[in-house]
A and B are shown apart, each in its own frame.
Chain A
């Protein structure tokens, strides 16, 4: 059964929403992961946090949108993935909840800052790692009919999920550091720039390993041009973020973002048309063709979503422009 144009469009919308989520929340997760080491004083840390304070909430909306569109477009995949991956997903969501309040309460001095700093750091690592592993798992094979803890652990800890988690962490770290280099006062930016050069080789290595495992797991990907374009974008992005100077006209996060976008294109191209791939032993995969909502629903929601995503993108760009200046550490005046 081949996917209809509407089903393909639904897949593309879903992929776009999750990719934008990775692109946007990627840098604030990356900053969270390195938060204790990016600034040396409270003022510096405050400047680091101010680079993401106005935008993290909007970034996470894309995750909620992704979940909701999966629910609307491919209900069996939503129910299957979340009920099977319930425990790890809930851990990630709990971590996201704590992270969200950590931003807010770190600024206020009623509770000890060290606590929120630790919460922010640990939660950011957990979220990135779990989402990476879960994404890898959905691509490599997840048996949504067998819900034993042992089977779940085996599919989570298989090669593709593990390299996806590692590459995800490395790319988000790189993205967060690039964002810090572009947005913080010069003293912190210099430090972040040095860290970029140290993290970039790790990102390159893990991404290469990930691509290799992906190609072995899903060999049909090798014949799709987009797969190779994605790889080229990722490699070019990582290279550029390493060698371009801070004064470059296009800011550094553009290049790290390019690397993440490339990786998402690679992954989704290889994954298509599966939504949740079943392991070899467990029957049919859920695909865009077999698990979608009715064409009447897609016919209404696909145009709606396409139009609105453009509108939101415009809004989002506007906010990023409003807060484009480097931070000082004196913000948070409301």
Chain B
């Protein structure tokens, strides 16, 4: 039991910290391609300089992502050997496809993107940026497919105590892959958008490279308006997917204990699983029924429909889910405000708004983490939903002391890495977009 808990913390720590880097690099790869394409097709050097600046910021973040990501596949084997042996046929295959298709594309064309600007034509350089973009997105797709397969497994049979594939295609395109992919991808794009806005705002505040920062902020404001609203729709689609395939998790997200007609939507509150109620709840009557079925009188199934030992920890996932949604609405507000200021031609001069923008940067990262915690804790007590329990998956004879040491080392490595990274990013951001070859 002790080993199990330690291994869960170890894995959560390793992937939770690693996750921050891909969120940044997926978002930035998109923005780099966007600005570079505009620069290439309009032959306007301003945009090329924006993309070059973003590339300089992207590079150390990508390296940190690669470095910390290296650990992940090995942890499946070291800490979760029973899971590995049980499901390697499908889970391992999806990771293998990801590495073969996505990582190679990324790393090969990243070399051109970072070091080959003067060795290839501008057109080929744009193609390289596109391939890096494509690589990062394929990587998201396959890792989300692997994750989704644990949530809504399909395309398999269990024979002789382990998983045997019946359709790899079905396993990859399992019922929650597409909804989760779009949701996670948009979340990363929002992070990239907010970074672009913050960088441009910083320049305008310091009156540095304003000719470049102005169009950068204009484009960023439009993205900031569109993406969080798009996420509202995609996030809703995703939660309907959860309702359909993992109803007990959905009930825990919404804090619904007893099956009711005209179910309320909780905006905030503290669920109390012992007393089967949400304390201090702020609620809108009937709204959850409307959201789930477009009908104010629709019935919403509560947690009590399911045996208590299959409930995920209600408190944790209710709270993380609601905090994530709260951040989403904050960003929607910021986007609407940005567009309003842009239309009124005040975006580049409203100092309080420019000052606020950099403070938004942590929000999408936090939302990504909260969403991830909610979805994984919400999967408990299962590791593979309905098929394999977490408690039956870990390496039995693992040494608890060793796990603790590995976590201490990991935290030290992150401390070193973040210190060096912060220094590097500070230099690059301070230098601004005007520096170096465009």
Using a CB–CB cutoff of 8 Å, the interface residues on chain A facing chain B are: 53-55, 57-58, 60-61, 63-65, 67-76, 78-83, 86-87, 89-90, 93-94, 96-98, 100-101, 103-105, 108, 110-111, 147, 149, 293-294, 296-297, 300-301, 304-305, 308-309, 312, 315-316, 318-319, 322-323, 331-334
Contacts and interface: CB of A to CB of B under 8 A. Distances in A.
Contacts of B90: 297
A58 B88 contact: no
B60 A54 contact: no
A149 B68 CA distance: 27
A98 B416 contact: yes
B390 interface: no
Nearest to B423: A110
B225 interface: no
**Of A58, A80, A305, A316, which is in contact with the most chain B CB atoms at under 10 Å from its CB?**
A58
B315 interface: no
Interface in B123-179: 159, 162, 164-166, 168
A100 B18 CA distance: 14
A300 B63 contact: no
B89 A83 contact: no
Nearest to B87: A75
Given A97-B70, A331-B115, 17 more contacts: A57-B63, A57-B66, A60-B70, A61-B107, A68-B95, A73-B92, A75-B84, A75-B86, A79-B85, A82-B81, A86-B398, A100-B66, A105-B420, A111-B419, A297-B93, A297-B168, A333-B115
Contacts of B166: 296
B105 interface: yes
B420 A78 contact: no
A310 B248 CA distance: 46
Contact of A72 (B64, B71, B89): B89
Given A58-B111, A323-B111, A97 B413 contact: yes
Contact of A75 (B60, B68, B70, B88): B88
A81 to B, nearest CB: 7
Nearest to B406: A90
A316 B108 contact: yes
A47 B114 CA distance: 16
A304 B70 CA distance: 23
B99 A68 contact: yes
A316 B164 CA distance: 34
A79 B71 contact: no
A81 B165 CA distance: 23
A312 B77 contact: no
B308 interface: no
B64 A322 contact: no
A57 B66 CA distance: 8
